[in-house]
Amino acid sequence: QVQLVESGGGWVQAGGSLRLSCAASGRTFSSYAMAWFRQGPGKEREFVAAISWSGSSTYYEDSVKGRFTISRDNAKSTVYLQMNSLKPQDTAVYYCAATNRNINYGNGKGPYDYWGQGTQVTVSS
């Protein structure tokens, strides 16, 4: 099993930045793809970004492209989400996800098999 733990959430003013981290433990394979999803109040979970374990392929939801950057440090088994130019619409619980499936044909959207507990991001106007 793979355990994922997110951190780095918090409160920030619009236009500010946050960096989320997701540390993976357990049976982790170098071929695992990682992703970030989010769920705002009263909304469905939505895809945010994904990255192959090698880091050679990345995918982004259109609403965050150019503002968010997903990256990973394989030595630390950690994936990051750098969030810049944050907007109130970005307010949500952010979840880390992992899969050893091929994500290329689904533009990184999954499906994903392992999920973290989530970390709250609140952006004020």
**pLDDT by residue (tens digit) across 34-59?**
999 999 999 999 999 999 988 889 99
Q: What digits encode the pLDDT tens for the residues 7-38?
A: 999 999 999 999 999 999 876 666 789 999 99
What is the Cα–Cα distance from 110 to 13, expressed in whole angstroms?
Answer: 31
pLDDT at res. 63: 97
Q: What digits encode the pLDDT tens for the residues 68-78?
A: 999 999 888 89
pLDDT at res. 29: 62
14 — phi, psi (to 5°)?
-55, 135
How far does the chain reach from its first CA to its final CA, in angstroms? 40
